[in-house]
A and B are shown apart, each in its own frame.
Chain A
Amino acid sequence: MKMLKTATVAAALMGSAALANPYADYEGTTLIVNFPAHPHYDAVMQILPQFTEETGIEVEVDQLPYLAMRERQTLELAQDEGDYDLIAYVVFSKADYVYADQLENLAKYFMNPALADPSYDAGDLIDGYVYNIGFAGGDRGYLSGKTGSLFGLPYGSETSVLGYRKDIFEKHGLEVPETYEEMLALACQIPELEPGMGGLASRAASGHHAAHAFLLHLNPLGGGIFDDSWQPIMNSAEGVAAAEALKQIVDCGPEGASTFGFGEALGAFLNGDTAMYLDTTVVAGQINDPSRSQVVDKVGWALHPMGTERASQTGGFGIGIPANAENKEAAFLLMQWLTSKAGDKAVALAGGNPSRFSTHSDADVNAAFPHMATFGEALQYADPDWRPIIPTWGKVNADLGTTLSQVLTEGLDIQEALDGVAERARATMEEAGYYTWQ
């Protein structure tokens, strides 16, 4: 620390361009980056001019809808020479890209004294996000651990929180739920207290919507998708409890809840059709936007309720450097600038999702977005193992989502349905070689 201070003072005294401007060598470089069309990255667009001004590095952004982005990246990354210098990737792409050797290992950049900013403070980055989105090669292949290393940095990541209608809770003297039991009881009590209103808005549509909603409840209730030897355990008693919770929420939810996707669930809450909303933090910006929301200033935020433990979602996006990028070092500088303390604060103030603990407790950020402190607290419980990030997950996830949708709409027996998913998941894992050593 003392050395750092001395260096800073020396640099200030000398006023030398070489020392003061690590970006000098890259001035005039144009970086081509690929970002998704997403509220966080809309905020990023606002701070990029500041980066160019400070560094002289130009940034050209190719912003695509996120599914299209993934397809485009799959094609781009397989080329010998890619178009992109920096990409934002959705969390489950980590498994595919790292496995196919398409993302740069960041060690060599953080080791390079000409590139790595000593005041970066990586310890301030949110642990759950870093291990979930940026790390690979550790425990279970996709988590932190002694054998792992860093391939990306979380940027535009999200966790889950509970939004609730302060006015409705006050009117009926209700307590904000702390535990799953309380939340589930409230979910069905609210439609009785407020006729026409649903308890909790949840996604439930067939496919990844239903699977996502199930996962939200699975870990807090003590369940998981696989055990340590990759045997499926989503059909355990905890898994059944999570599916039952989902069913209860949907049954006591607004009309038509069983077919709600992300947009409809959020729409129902913004419309005032439900009293609670349990999902990603990314929606916070829209709640108080009068052009979209009818519940402006009526929403309070609380931690994702606790089951047998606290375990909120980890997901969203990270940024990484493609192995076939042309300007890797300049891309690293952009990546470092964006996720630095100053960059993270700037993007938070522009309406993005911060990746650092310090930004969540920052006074300016909290003055602009009072919910940020609660979100910061929620992040301490963000579970990096919220879902398995392995190449076969896409298939297991789709099966889970389709089957759960049948549970919600066709009245399929929960245990039987999850047993089916487990059996098929085992076959998928077997084929992919996960039982080779057993």
Chain B
Amino acid sequence: MSIIYIDVKNDEDSIQIGDYRKQHLYYKIHSDVVAVYESNGALASAIKNGCTYQAEALFTFSGHGHFDYINDFGYTKIFDKDDNDLVSYLGDKIVHLHACFAGDSLGPQMVSQGCKAFFGYNDYFKAPHEDDPDYHLISYFMQPDETLVIELNNGVTAATAANMAIMEYENSIDAIDNSSQNGNYHVFIRENRDAFCHPNRDSKYGDKSATILMAV
């Protein structure tokens, strides 16, 4: 079992998500993290090297996403849809991109080049800003991805992990509906759920039976 853990924190938006993951997710999985790249250590060359040396890993990333690529700390592309060597980095991995849009084109391209399963978003990922009095509701926005990573780390299949994340989305929707007076948050949590990409949704997101236990 091994996890390649990346938080590209190069502006306020990405710092918020990256720091939240560090506080709430990282400590739950840290013993299985074999390579961690954060802030100015999250550079494309280092991350690619890490991928080359770690087989059968879960690659989990937070940072800004685009339809076709994800960037590193210095805004250099880490992976791009047009790269033809994605297999050499991701061929034996499950990829989770907690980032906007990358589920649209980059995710399916990773899968077509051999990535076992892909999880991500094909739209903006929305979350409360820390200036909002209801900022504590961010936990409901982050919980589905947190559950996903923890369950994949526990060795469940991509299909099971996806179902558990979707169940978390339904719980989060219920919680937001019942506790927030911000009408737009009621919509955001549903938009995030609807943008969530996973193998149960479409085979272009990979193999439902994929796990990261295979290397054990």
Chains A and B bind each other: no
**Measuring CB to CB, which residues of chain B are less than 8 angstroms from any residue of chain A?**
none
**Measuring CB to CB, which residues of chain A are less than 8 angstroms from any residue of chain B?**
none
